[in-house]
Structure 1
Amino acid sequence: MSRYVEPSSVEGRVRLRDVTVVDPLDGTHTTGQDVVVEGGRITSVTATGGPVTDAHVVEGRGRFLVPAYQDMHMHALNTPEDVDGTYALMLANGVVGFRQMSGSRALLKSRREGTLPRPTGAPALRATAGDLLTPLNAGTVDGAVQAVREQHRDGADFVKAGMTTGETFLAALQEANRLGILLGGHLPADLDPREAARGGTWSIEHLGPGVTMFAAASSQEGEVRARNATRKLPPIPKVRIPGADRLATKLIKRMVVNPATSTSELEAHAYELADGSYDQRKAEELAALFVAHTTWQCPTLIRVHTQQFGDSPQHTQDPRRRYMAPGELRAWDRSSRKFARLPAVTRDALHHHWDAQLRMTRTFADAGVPMVAGTDACGAAGIIPGFALHDEFDHLAEAGIDPLTILRMTTTEPARFLGDEGASGRVLPGMPADLVLLTEDPLEDHTALRRIAGVMRAGSWWSRADLDAVLERVAADPGAR
């Protein structure tokens, strides 16, 4: 059950009648279609016929049916005991699946045993990592190798590198390759992204993060790298002592609210140098390497924007904050005050870096680098679960990415990314009945993706009125995290 989402009154056999089906794979529209679902699956897609008496009917004339959205970078299950509010906001925004980017042995055990929380309308956990690689469990080469082995043993879908060095990252990557488990995440400051791609890194998050990727696209690469190497890892204990895990978790949680608040002036200078020496030819060469090695990118532009404009009223006065749990808002506000205290030169460098991030995202898209959409919601300041994916679409469009590519980044590309190509991400018989009905054409303008007339999750239908009621309940008892 859910505090926020009432069970659907339209389920079982349902016919979405006279819709225009949009196929993200080839960008085609097919008008006048009846889509029948039953048992959580699409059973048929046919030309609209005569009267229907054997199913619930959702009238869709003049509306556009697309696969429901996937958020490929989230932390919803950081608080598995309290995900109801987050899941409700996801449903209301058409988000029905996610990749959990921080896990634990307990989380993996719960998944194996089928005890993860599943309130009404809950999204699907598409993939999860185990414990984040940090100096606590991967502070040495041997530690990194052992951490990968443990996560492979425990059934993690992938390993996420969080705070590593170039040496420990590559050691973990080599062991992951040997075991056949994927590894991705954050590139350390002292690692060349080209080396990461050649080594088989699965995905790179947040365009790096930091200066690392931009150094590789700089005409003064050596100098940028030298300045960037000044970043130090947080003071996490490097030996296993009683309570160390809890201490590390607390330190990481505090830091990830907005890592930009710890940007040093030397790092700010590295941003300035990298941005001022940006070399488009080198950026295109980097993109070509990512294409050649199928090195996925999850830019999370909404995450980098909330970090780099941490005290902007756009985020600190966002009216959608009314959905968030009060404790979350207090942490966000502390972070914004800390950001405001950074030296002006540091804040200016972070602000100016935004244009370089948009330019690199566009360069990757133009080159055909494989990319998925993600938000880093749950724990990150200024990011409202569910809504944030639409913010991400806005920033991708700001970078110059076309509406069809944006739609693919949240539908067919996640399917390919997760090895589920051909089994999800399209409106075809046999595929999951996870669908969004739109009032406008998403191939004309990406903003149509937020013009939601209704959402179907696993064959259950919630109308626009139902979804608005969900939002009202969350606002009345804020619980998203």
Structure 2
Amino acid sequence: MSRYVEQPSVKGHVLLRDVIVVDPLDGRRTPGQDVVVEGGRITSVTATGSPATHAHVVEGRGRFVVPAFMDMHLHALNTPEDVDGSYALMLANGVVGFRQMSGNRALLESRSKGTLPQPTGAPALKATAGDLLTPLNASTVDGAVRAVQEQHRDGADFVKAGMTTRETFLAALGEANRLGIRLGGHLPADLDPREAARAGVWSIEHLGPGVTVFAAASSKEGEVRAAHATRKLPPIPKIKVPGADKLAMKLIKGMVTNPATGTSEEEAHAYELADGSYDQRKAEELAALFVEHSTWQCPTLIRVHTQQFGDSAVHTEDPRRRYMAPGELRAWDKSSKKFSKLPGATRDALHNHWAAQLRMTRTFADAGVPMVAGTDACGAAGIIPGFALHDEFDHLAEAGLDPLTILRMSTTEPARFLGEEGAFGRIAPGMPADLVLLDEDPLASHTGLRAIAGVMRDGSWWSRAELDAVLERVATHPGAH
């Protein structure tokens, strides 16, 4: 059950009649199609005219249908006892699956037992990590190796590096490779991204973060790295005592609301130095290396924008804040005030770095670096679950990515990223019945992806009117995180 999403009136055997099927794999639009669904799966895709015997009929009337969207960087299950509001916003925005970027043993056990919350219309948990690698569990090489072993034993799908050093990161990566579990996440400040790629890192989040990746595209790489080396790991307890885990997570939560609020003058200088010495040839060489080693990128541009423009009215006065839980908004506002107190030169450096992030994203896309779309929603200041994926689409377009690439980054590429190529992300017989009906052509402009006329999740259909009712319920009793 859900506080916000009512049981759909259309489910089971459904005929979506007379639609234009969009295939993200090759960009084909096939008009005049009937999509038949039964038992949560697509059973046929044929020319319009299929008999509607015993089927609920949804009239497409020539609208566009695409596979529903995946958010490949999310933290919804940081609050597993209260996911209903976030899940409802995701459904209303066509988001039907996600990669959970922070977990723990209890979460992994709950998933194994099938006891994770599943309110009506809930998205699918496609993959989850265990505990983040931080100084709490990975302050030494031995600790990092042991943490990877424990997560592998507990059934994590991947390991996420959160706050590590070059030494502990590479030790964890080596052990992950030995065990056959993927490792991705944040690159430490003292690690060359080329070394991480050659060592087999699975994914790099947030284009770094920091200037780690951008240093490799600088004509003054040594100077940038020396300036960035001043960045220190936060003061997280390294000794396991009763309550240490909870204390560490509380500290981490406070920091991740907006890490940019802790930007030092030295770090700001590193941004300026990297941006002022950008070398396109080196950027393209880095991109080619990522292609060679299949080093995935999840840019989360919406996340870096909310960080680097932390006190901008675009975020602090976003009307969609009305969907967020009051406690969440208080944390966001506290973070915004802290950001506004940074020195003007530091804020300028953060603002100016945005152009470099867009340029790097475009360079990676042009080179064919594998990329997926993600938002870092659920805990990060200014990011509204569900809606944020469409914000991410806007920023990817701002970087210069074409509509088909953007569509792929949230449909077929997540399937390939997770090792499930061909299992979801297309509209074909046998595929999951997770669809979005659009009023506008998503290949003419990425903005068509937000023109949602209806969403099908696991064979159940919610019309635009029903989705608007969901949003109204969330706004009346704000509960998203």
TM-score (norm 2): 1.00
CA distance in 2, matches of 1:237, 1:254: 15
Write the distance in 2 (CA, Å) between the matches of 1:303 and 1:236. 23
Task: State the distance in 1 between where 2:3 and 2:243 align.
Answer: 34
Q: Report deviation, 1:243.
A: 1.1
Aligned to 2:19: 19
Matched ranges for 1:4-403 at <5 A: 4-49=4-49, 51-403=51-403
Cα separation, 2, equivalents of 1:100 and 1:53: 40
The one-letter code sitting in structure 1 at the alignment partner of 2:70 is Q
Q: Which amino acid aligns with 1:466?
A: E
1:445 corresponds to: 445
SS in 1 for 2:136: helix
Deviation at 1:50, TM superposition (A): 5.5
Counterpart-to-counterpart distance in 2, 1:50 and 1:97: 30
CA distance in 2 between counterparts of 1:79 and 1:247 reads: 16
Contact 2:34 2:50 (C-alpha < 8 Å) held by counterparts = no
Offset of 1:111 from its aligned partner? 0.1
CA drift of 1:54 comes to 2.1
State the Cα deviation string for residues 140-194 of structure 1 (Å, max 9, x = none): 0000000000000000000000000000000000000000000000000000000
Please tell me the residue identity of whatever aligns with 1:55.
A
> Aligned partners of 1:386, 1:28: CA distance in 2, in Å?
26
2:465 and 2:301 map into 1 onto residues whose CA distance is 30
* Contact 2:21-2:29 at 8 Å conserved across structures: yes
Aligned partner letter, 1:315: H
Alpha-carbon distance between aligned partners in 1 of 2:51 and 2:184, rounded to the nearest angstrom: 51
Moved more, 232-241 or 89-98: 232-241
The SS at the match of 1:61 is coil
1:271, distance to aligned residue in structure 2 (A): 0.2
> RMSD value over aligned CA atoms?
0.5
- How far is the alpha carbon of 1:28 from its aligned partner? 0.2
| Cα distance in 2, alignment partners of residues 273 and 16 from structure 1 | 54
Deviations 1:304-345 (A, max 9, x none): 000000000000000000000000000000000000000000
Cα distance in 2, alignment partners of residues 217 and 320 from structure 1: 37
1:290 & 1:51 partners in 2: Cα distance?
A: 49
SS at match of 1:148: helix
**Equivalent position SS for 2:171:** helix
Q: What per-residue deviation string (whole Å, max 9, x for no partner) do you get for residues 385-422 of structure 1?
A: 00000000000000000000000000000000001101
Amino acid at match of 2:151: Q
Q: Which amino acid aligns with 1:478?
A: P
Amino acid at match of 1:288: A
- Per the TM alignment, residue 53 of structure 1 is displaced from its structure 2 partner at its CA by 2.9
Q: Deviations over 1:60-111 (max 9, x none)?
A: 0220010000000000000000000000000000000000000000000000
Residues 71 and 99 in structure 2, CA contact (< 8 A), matched pair in contact too: yes
1:82 aligned partner, one-letter code: D
Once residues 141 and 186 of structure 2 are traced to their aligned partners in structure 1, the CA distance between those partners, rounded to angstroms, is: 17
Amino acid at match of 1:343: P
Q: 5+ residue gaps in structure 2?
A: none
Shift of 1:127: 0.2
Distance in 1, Cα, partners of 2:268 & 2:412 = 37
Residue matched to 2:417: 417
The separation in 2 between residues aligned to 1:426 and 1:4, in whole angstroms, is: 28
C-alpha separation in 2, matches of 1:2 and 1:346: 44
Quote how far apart the aligned CAs of 1:51 are: 4.9
Cα separation, 2, equivalents of 1:420 and 1:462: 26
Give the 3-state SS of the residue equivalent to 1:138 in structure 2: coil
SS of 1:282's partner is helix
Aligned to 1:456: 456
User: Shift in Å at residue 423 of structure 1?
Assistant: 1.2
2:26 match: secondary structure? coil
Secondary structure at 1:456 match in 2:
strand
Corresponding residue SS for 1:389: helix
- What is the rounded CA distance, in whole Å, between the counterparts of 1:253 and 1:51 in structure 2? 54
**Alpha-carbon distance between aligned partners in 2 of 1:238 and 1:399, rounded to the nearest angstrom:** 40
Q: CA-to-partner distance for each residue in 1:451-479, whole Å, 9 max, x for gaps?
A: 00000000000000000000000000000
Quick one: distance in 2 between partners of 1:52 and 1:245?
Answer: 56
Q: Secondary structure at the match of 2:401?
A: coil
- The one-letter amino acid paired with 1:116 is L
Q: Deviations over 1:220-271 (max 9, x none)?
A: 0000000000011111111111111011000000000000000000000000
CA 1:101–1:50: 2 relative to 1, 3 Å: closer
User: Partners of 1:129 and 1:307 in 2: how far apart?
Assistant: 24
Equivalent position SS for 2:432? coil
Q: Structure 1 residues 476, 165: CA separation in 2 closer, same or farther (over 3 Å shift)?
A: same
CA contact (8 A) 2:269 2:349 kept: yes
1:408 aligns with 2:426: no
Task: Please state how far the C-alpha of 1:52 moved relative to its aligned partner.
Answer: 2.0
2:137 match: secondary structure? helix
